[in-house]
Chain A
Amino acid sequence: MKKHHISAIVISLITILAGIIASFEFHKLHVSESLYPSERLSSEGMLSDYFSGIKDTNGDTKVYFFDSGKPGATVFLAGGTHPNEPAGYLASVIILENLIPEKGRVIVIPRLNNSAFTCTDPMEAFPQSFHIDTDKGPRKFRFGSRATNPLDQWPDPLVYSHKPSGQQYSGLESRNLNRAYPGSPKGTFTEKVAYAIMQMIEKEEVDISYDLHEAAPEIPIINAIVYHEKSEDIAMYSILELEMEGLQFTPELSPKNFHGLSHREWGDYTKTYPFLMETSSPVQGRLRGKTNEELILNGVSENYKIAKETGALRIAYRDEGEQLEHRVGRHLSGFMAIINSYNEIHIDNTVKISGLPAYQELVENGIGKYLNN
């Protein structure tokens, strides 16, 4: 046997072995962690109830209903549009596991792009999960990808043309749920999921909608509430209320020509008032140091501190770090402030909820205290 044949056999065996080991790791991503809704949960459904085209696919996801039994407004809260933005997902989980509806209804979808929870992004080196300490021990949560799993939608086009606007994005964005609205029943996997969400918002006559996100500290739209023009009054009132709590939020008007995003298309195609909230997450940043679970949880990054000091970039980073409690707390406070502002403007169709921790409580007690398991 020639030398290069031996090399080929050895390399092939190593490749097969690595593939087998990695396949077990990747397979784990397809097992969803359990969520424990509060006792006041009224009913559960599936997103495919609104569009059967996603039934029995990775795009289908649980929809949780909290009905107070008293007439009032309907609120929809989405976490997990981008499963690599953990504060958005965890905020929706805390709401799911603690909510008490007192007037109107709340609909929660914690894993909005369920498919994107089943993969991570190559070359980003993200952990596949992170753990939150609770009284009963650590609880595991999935850390996923920004985009739909390529196993569910592939290949990407060179250029993604958004339907129906025709706006063009890079091919990768074709798997980004937050570029796919209003979606299409005959479109791609991601467009079908987007279509199902639009159907749900319309059929449930949702009054207020939230899409919870995070972004890298160097991204210009950070620590912000992005609002549709019809939601402007509510957004401004809530930002004032948040300021009185000591929380700074930047108001960002949804650009009319930036299509496919929830804050634009939910507002354009349905009667709902849409809001998208962003916090600052160093684990998503390009300047971050070691990529690990600690960075997700503590958000401490010496690199961002230095970058801020150089003044070369506009950096939204606190010197003490961007802890997960702080980021989730901001989302929860933003959620409550928007409901309060809506109620002040729509006095004949209000919604009232309780049971959620305030920002300061969450920061002091930790997230684990508000998780049921």
Chain B
Amino acid sequence: MNFELIILLLMLASFAISVFVLKMPAGVSLILAAVVGGLVDGHGIPVRQLVEGGFGFMEAIMIIATAMIFMKIMESSGVLALISLGIIKTFHKKPSLLIIVIVLFVMFPGMLTGLSSTCVLTTGVLVAPVLLAIGIPRLAAGSLIAMAAVFGEVAPPISIPVMIIGGGVDMPYIGFTIPLLLVSLPAALFTAIYFRIRFVKKINLDLVLEKLNLIENDQRGFKLYIPLIFVIGYMISEIVFHEYFLHLGVPLIFTIGSVLGIIISPKTKIIKVSRKALRMALPVIVILVGVGMFLQILTLTGVRGYLAISALQLPDAVKYMAAAVMPFMGSAYASASVIGVPLVYVFIGKSAVVVTASLVMMAALGDLMPPPSLLCAYAAQTVGVKNHFKILKQSIIPIIFSMFVAIIVLIFAEDISRFFF
């Protein structure tokens, strides 16, 4: 047996033992697996390599941390609740449109942060009562929120799994907007319509508003929206009007947005909100540090090259089966780094950008899957369901459709690329 394969198997085994037997978090388990890889290949504990790898996603980590604080401040300021109210008042006469807008609203924080759990824990929390009030059962409401979170993680402008794969194959984060919309939007629309047809009939606005008990008139008015407008506006302006806007960087933009939020809503308990936000972000941050170390050791030991070269030699039919395994890693980021990177090489000859977009859709579904089932667990808490696996079961049809879209895009990646670019 090839020595690189032995190293890989030992790293995966130590990861599995750490997660399932020692009950360690996924991020810590990735770090332990990286240490095992270094030891097996004769490097001892390669401290410099591990630390260097741990900094691989420093930028993403800072974005996640600052974005989570920002979204929590927005939540506590009441602006997200006002948006929920606005959505239901505007669209209650057209239930299909209402569900579509809700799905897009839940996706929004994920689109900005690249982090699916932000969606469930911020906008997801806000729309959950709306969904229940318009007659969607708890399990289905949880499933809708969890699925929307997956699509939010995939959709542009920021998709961390794409950046993870891009980091592994030297591919710049450019030209992904259309391919990512192509895999995420049809699946998001299908999910919205699927739940609309199954559960939503006519909406009685008065009854819904009574159930929701939202404060309709906030004295602060338009001011409440300023931080949100600033963050979205500056991010776009920095790219589109780069000559006129000082480059601040995404973490600083979110931080300024947070400061604006505190100024506008001085009652916000910043320490409490920040601690809550970071506590939510921490598991993902540790995973990113672990993924960085894991990838560094895969590269050091030659396992990355072994995976890439093995993937190059696979027969065509097996290549698509290998891609379909992606969701079963239980984490979008782990799936993107461990399987996503070599799979881009497998499909060399097709457009790497479109291939990556389709792989990322499949990888993102991993956030729903056990063992961690992170999104299902968060969604279950949000809608008040004890067994989060029932939310996963409720999501099977949208998951199958999302996989179908991703595989179709993967098969026709080159044709799609030629059509759009």
Which A residues are closer than 8 A to B by beta carbons? Answer: 11, 18-19, 21-22, 25-26, 120, 122-125, 128, 154-159, 161, 166, 168-173, 216, 285-292, 301, 303, 306-307, 310, 312-313
Q: Do residues B251 and A289 form an inter-chain contact, with CB atoms below 8 A? A: no
Interface stretch of the complex, out of B167-175, B326-334, B375-383: B167-175
Q: Do residues A123 and B295 form an inter-chain contact, with CB atoms below 8 A? A: yes
Inside 8 A of B306's CB, which chain A residues have their CB?
289, 303
Task: Provide a sorted-by-A list of 16 A–B residue pairs whose CB atoms are within 8 angstroms.
Answer: A22-B50, A122-B53, A122-B54, A122-B58, A124-B296, A155-B59, A157-B247, A157-B249, A158-B157, A158-B173, A158-B238, A166-B242, A288-B305, A291-B300, A301-B305, A306-B312
Q: Once bound together, how far apart are the Cα atoms of A156 and B48, in whole Å?
A: 23
Q: How far is the CB of B319 from chain A (nearest CB, A)?
A: 11
Q: Do residues B169 and A290 form an inter-chain contact, with CB atoms below 8 A? A: no
Knowing A123-B56, A286-B345 are in contact, say whether A21-B48 is a contact too (CB < 8 A). yes
Cβ-closest 3 pairs across A and B: A170-B172, A155-B249, A22-B51
13 more A-B contacts (CB under 8 A) besides A157-B242, A289-B305? Answer: A21-B47, A122-B53, A122-B56, A122-B292, A123-B168, A125-B299, A155-B59, A158-B238, A158-B250, A161-B239, A286-B308, A286-B345, A289-B306
Q: Do residues A161 and B242 form an inter-chain contact, with CB atoms below 8 A? A: yes
Which B residues are closer than 8 A to A by beta carbons? Answer: 4, 28, 41, 47-56, 58-59, 62, 157-158, 166-170, 172-174, 235, 238-239, 242-243, 247, 249-252, 292, 295-297, 299-302, 304-306, 308-309, 312-313, 345, 348-349
Q: Do residues A303 and B305 form an inter-chain contact, with CB atoms below 8 A? A: yes
Residue of B41, B52, B53 ringed by the most chain A CB atoms within 10 A = B52
Q: Do residues B309 and A156 form an inter-chain contact, with CB atoms below 8 A? A: no
Inside 8 A of A310's CB, which chain B residues have their CB?
312-313
Q: Do residues B172 and A125 form an inter-chain contact, with CB atoms below 8 A? A: no
Q: Do residues A286 and B47 form an inter-chain contact, with CB atoms below 8 A? A: no
Inside 8 A of B172's CB, which chain A residues have their CB?
169-170, 172-173
Q: Do residues B308 and A287 form an inter-chain contact, with CB atoms below 8 A? A: yes
Contact partner of A288 among B169, B249, B302, CB < 8 A?
B302
Inside 8 A of B301's CB, which chain A residues have their CB?
290
Q: Once bound together, how far apart are the Cα atoms of A292 and B55, in whole Å?
A: 20
Q: Which residue of B lies closest to A305 (CB)?
A: B309
Inside 8 A of A22's CB, which chain B residues have their CB?
47-48, 50-52
Inside 8 A of A313's CB, which chain B residues have their CB?
312, 348
Inside 8 A of A169's CB, which chain B residues have their CB?
172, 174
Which label, helix, strand, loop or mixed, suits the secondary structure of the A interface? Answer: loop
Inside 8 A of B309's CB, which chain A residues have their CB?
287, 303, 306-307
Q: Do residues B312 and A123 form an inter-chain contact, with CB atoms below 8 A? A: no
Q: How far is the CB of B19 from chain A (nearest CB, A)?
A: 16
Q: Once bound together, how far apart are the Cα atoms of A21 and B49, in whole Å?
A: 11
Knowing A123-B299, A157-B249 are in contact, say whether A286-B313 is a contact too (CB < 8 A). no
Q: Do residues B308 and A171 form an inter-chain contact, with CB atoms below 8 A? A: no
Knowing A155-B249, A155-B251 are in contact, say whether A287-B305 is a contact too (CB < 8 A). yes
Residue of A25, A123, A156, A285 ringed by the most chain B CB atoms within 10 A = A123
Residue of B50, B157, B235, B300 ringed by the most chain A CB atoms within 10 A = B300
Q: Once bound together, how far apart are the Cα atoms of A125 and B170, in whole Å?
A: 14
Q: Once bound together, how far apart are the Cα atoms of A77 and B239, in whole Å?
A: 35
Inside 8 A of B53's CB, which chain A residues have their CB?
122-123, 125
Q: Once bound together, how far apart are the Cα atoms of A307 and B313, in whole Å?
A: 8
Q: How far is the CB of B56 from chain A (nearest CB, A)?
A: 4
Q: Once bound together, how far apart are the Cα atoms of A166 and B242, in whole Å?
A: 9
Q: Once bound together, how far apart are the Cα atoms of A290 and B345, in whole Å?
A: 18
Q: Once bound together, how far apart are the Cα atoms of A120 and B53, in whole Å?
A: 10
Contact partner of A307 among B249, B251, B312, CB < 8 A?
B312
Q: Once bound together, how far apart are the Cα atoms of A244 and B138, in whole Å?
A: 78
Inside 8 A of B345's CB, which chain A residues have their CB?
286-287
Inside 8 A of B247's CB, which chain A residues have their CB?
157
Inside 8 A of A155's CB, which chain B residues have their CB?
59, 62, 249-252
Contact partner of B173 among A11, A171, A292, A301, CB < 8 A?
A171
